[in-house]
Amino acid sequence: MMWTTLIAGLILLSAIPPGLPRSIYDVEGRSKRSIDLNDVYYSKMRQFRLPNEVTATSYHLDIKIPSIEKNEFSGHVKINLTWKDTSDRITLNIHQNLEISKVGIRMIQLPPDEAEKGTPMKVNIARKERQRFKSWYIIHLEQMLKNGSACEVDITYYGNLTTNETTGLYKSAYMDITGKKHPFIATYLQLDNAQKMFPCMDEPPYKATFKLRVSYPVMQGFKACTNTPLISRRTINNSIEEEFEETPVMSTNQLALVISDLETLFPGENVNEIDGRKLQVRVWGRKEFLVSLTEVPNKIVKIVNYLQNYFNSSLGLPKLDMMAIPMYSASKASDNWGLMFFKESELSSPLVWTTAYELFYQWIGQSVTPYRRNDAPVNKALNSYLASMATLDLNPDEMEGKWPMTVLYSLYYEFAQTAPFSRVAGIRHEATWTKAELVFRMFNYTFGHELFQKSVRNFFHQQSKEDRRTFFANDIFTYLNDLANETNNLPPGLTINGIAASWINRDRVPLVTVIRDYETRKINLSQKVYLRDVPPQSTAKVSYQWDIPIVMQAEDNLNFHDTKPTVWLRKEIVPKNLTMLDLTNKDNFIIVNPEEIGMFPVNYDSCNWKMLSQYLQGPNRERIPPLTRAKLLHDAWNLAYAGELCFGIAMNMTLFLKQEKSHVVWEPVFTMIHHVGRRIEGLDVNFKFEAYIQSLLKPLYLELGENPQPDEPSWKTHMRGLMQNFLCRTGYEPCIKEARDQFKKWLIDEEPDKGNPVANKFLCPVFKWGTNEEWEFGLQRVINFPKTSLARKQNERTYLLKTLAGCPKDANKIEKLLQVSVLDQNENFTDADVQLIFSMLTGSATGYKTLFNFLHDHWYTVKERFQNKTYLWDGIINSATSSFNTHEGYDRVSQLYVDHQNEFESADAIIRKALRIIKQESIKWNEENVPVIDAWLKENLSKEDLEAIAAATSISTTAVPTTTD
């Protein structure tokens, strides 16, 4: 799973029902590529690297398949090897399942000095050694050969086609509609699987040319396809023999072969001629699948043209075959040079991003490979960035304007945590290349598209020269550095590598503060580490600094195409801030870091914020592009949350949302509502806050219409879902009515346990605002949920249980749930269910308060029940105590702690931590911000709203004991 989804999932868990796309990664299917070749290769890198005195330069490979039924094959390979250093042995990789029948060797070249002396060309094999454990085959020679010698080794061998998995040279089959089986033979040589097909030097840095010949039995419609075009085909004794052109120099794992009856599609358009060549594109698939692929060839031509243009070079081969392999099981597409393999569903997708990513990968990957494992993320980042740019250019709708915001806001969120990545293990690595991708984007803006493209070209063309073909992460930046320096674009005293390092190597981002002095017309810029929560006192203070490009816009001269920095805020300068002349006069606002050019939020003086807020409410609002509007809102609200900015100013920045129509601007709003909502959950101010949210959401919701229109863009559906969800949560009447009407279908169903006719999104509103009967009906459905049913998935039940626990605002529903699941020990509730209930109850004040009361009232029963289940005991203590946010709450929790001082056992640290957080974070946060938010809301809500709230509050306080500050 893509890590941004993980983070978004955590943030929004209780806010957004599953099933709604949360980030562009879900929508675009980017998450499929979470495992990349480089990662796997380097993490799997064998301890046994081949000695490098002798290297292979070319292979002639004959593969014979005598019968399609028998799963056997025989091979004959000739390998030309040259000596880089003195050695009397040749070491090859060969998989243990291949058997060697004959080995020969001949000398084809002497080192220059010996050739002069007229030394005879002689070489003999002394002995052969097979080290199965290392998959090594060592040929010991009688003679010691010197640097510059060359030999041809000749090996005859045989083996079996793989049939139990899809690696090496494997056999598989697919079924057509009539039930007829179509066998096919294909390769998967990525990682180190080439040695399963032939003896070779199976490590990516050993690059060589390959000349392939295959023979297989005559079968209706069968052809072979490999990296290069066919040069001859003949039929001898009932078998076909095909020979292919020699490949350019490449790694063994790039070789590919398919023998099948798959059929082809050709594009309607041609690839542009380049270097005197015209690439021929073909798309392959099962006959019955071809109709799903009809649009694909032209899409590929479009992308290839883009790539040729970007690199100003050809793919280096005369043809490119893209094949949808039936039942392709590898986690990633196989980007063999000239013959790429995809899952059927992946190749048929109309989206540009994934295909562009694979093509960039092969374009760059066939020429240059990262040198070390640490260099791989940068390679991936560059591919990913280029693919995103290609998508923006070729099919902008696909991004829906949301890139890079979705990834960026997740990064801001994570990096601003006291301990980044502490909640989700294993995503740090993913975040590294996302950061690098955003650094490429930053450079593309700050140095301009042209300079960036030129340096990518230089990198590609220089590093792909014969003698290099591998690179270090820094190389990419070095090319940019040299070009920027040459063209006088390099900020004095800085290097690109130095700038990049500060952004890539840290799990933090800076906060830039911009203070304008309107009297002296000076701007003061400073930087510090951006944090959302006040770190505990024990945490060591970090004093990171960054080299930060300061791109600026002024109200009287808006030009968002100008993305060159006015200045660089540098890490070395002392004192740590910078003063410069203001760009404009005191009546105009300025914007720093528009379009999220750099990865950092920006704070301003209150005057500038005020001017921004007013402008955004005015008629010219759209002169500021959506991504920048979103950023201003995002930064204001998050900075207020972090205590960097007065909440009143942040709230002012939301006023323009009443007119805002762009989904890009709206996207981050839901997360922010959720964050603030959680802080003030259970306080009176929350009613006002919810009323305000309603007033913001309603206009756009009404405009979107309640029901999806046919063919509407996906963002609309997505937005409507989010809006409905939030409106429902705040008690918007029409939404609740609709939810209950839908729910009725289930209520009157004669066999309600056969299936759920109600869409998930309606459940929460019904359980929150509906009657006890409706809620109890839901509870029965969980209890009666069929344990084994093909028609109903367990996650349906999980969702139902989550909403039953997390949504109600009446304590009695929750009491009932706890009664059934904990006290009655109803056997239909597993321990995992109980754990889930506890964690869902932290989402609402009613939830955790009711849980607290329950724990308080049934202390000994609960303790005994969870005696041997520490995690449930810890779970209930944590969920019941940690979410309180008032003094009264603190007192109740600490009273509980005093009353049962020695009885908490494993949960002792948990309750102590809860007490600390309530006091140091929650109460402190509330004391600082709630009065401000409350005052602002009182001023900005309509009289009717305020009266309605006053009425509602008096009812609700009788239902649940809430507290007022």
Ligand X SMILES: *[C@@H]1O[C@H](CO)[C@@H](O)[C@H](O)[C@H]1NC(C)=O
Footprint of ligand X on this chain (CB under 6 A)? 58, 60, 78, 80, 97, 99, 108, 152, 158-160, 164-165, 481, 485, 490, 495
Q: Mapping DSSP to helix (H, G, I), strand (E, B) and coil, where does residue 84 land?
A: coil
Sign, CA torsion 244/250/252/254: negative
Q: Mapping DSSP to helix (H, G, I), strand (E, B) and coil, where does residue 103 land?
A: strand
510 vs 531: CA distance, rounded Å: 9
940 vs 650: CA distance, rounded Å: 13
Nearer CB in complex with ligand X: 481/654: 481
Q: How far is the CB of 830 from ligand X (least distance, A)?
A: 32
Q: How far is the CB of 67 from ligand X (least distance, A)?
A: 13
489 vs 328: CA distance, rounded Å: 47
Nearer CB in complex with ligand X: 353/452: 452
Nearer CB in complex with ligand X: 152/921: 152
Q: How far is the CB of 146 from ligand X (least distance, A)?
A: 18
Q: How far is the CB of 326 from ligand X (least distance, A)?
A: 18
**Cα distances (angstroms) measured from residue 85 to each of 52, 53, 369, 547, 562:** 8, 5, 24, 45, 55
Q: How far is the CB of 194 from ligand X (least distance, A)?
A: 16
- E strands, 521-661, are 522-529, 548-550, 552-554, 567-569, 577-581, 590-592, 602-604
Nearer CB in complex with ligand X: 487/520: 487
The answer to whether the beta carbons of residues 735 and 727 sit under 8 Å apart is yes
Q: How far is the CB of 60 from ligand X (least distance, A)?
A: 4
Nearer CB in complex with ligand X: 160/853: 160
The answer to whether the beta carbons of residues 610 and 632 sit under 8 Å apart is no
Q: How far is the CB of 748 from ligand X (least distance, A)?
A: 50
194 vs 190: CA distance, rounded Å: 7
Nearer CB in complex with ligand X: 152/796: 152
In which order are the strands placed within the sheet that holds 602-604? 577-581, 522-529, 510-517, 602-604
Burial class (CB in 10 A: 0-12, 13-18, 19+), 8: buried
Q: What's the gap between Cα 930 and its chain centre?
A: 36
Q: How far is the CB of 486 from ligand X (least distance, A)?
A: 7
Nearer CB in complex with ligand X: 121/515: 121
What b/e sequence results for 613-640 when a residue is b if at least 16 CB atoms lie within 10 Å of its CB, and e otherwise?
bebbbeeeeeebbbbbbbbbbbbbbbbb
Nearer CB in complex with ligand X: 482/921: 482
Q: How far is the CB of 103 from ligand X (least distance, A)?
A: 14
Tokens coding 554: 């002024």
Helix 428-446 crosses helix 449-463 at what angle (to 10 degrees)?
A: 120
- For the chain, the residue count is 965
Q: How far is the CB of 484 from ligand X (least distance, A)?
A: 8
Q: How far is the CB of 548 from ligand X (least distance, A)?
A: 18
Nearer CB in complex with ligand X: 273/486: 486
Q: How far is the CB of 490 from ligand X (least distance, A)?
A: 6
Nearest-CA neighbor of 652 among 685, 687, 603, 606? Answer: 606
Nearer CB in complex with ligand X: 97/870: 97
Which residue type occupies 269? E
Nearer CB in complex with ligand X: 214/523: 214
644 vs 816: CA distance, rounded Å: 43
Nearer CB in complex with ligand X: 160/617: 160
The set of residues, in sequence order, having a beta carbon less than 8 Å from that of 591 and lying 6+ positions away, is 552, 553, 554, 612, 624, 628, 632
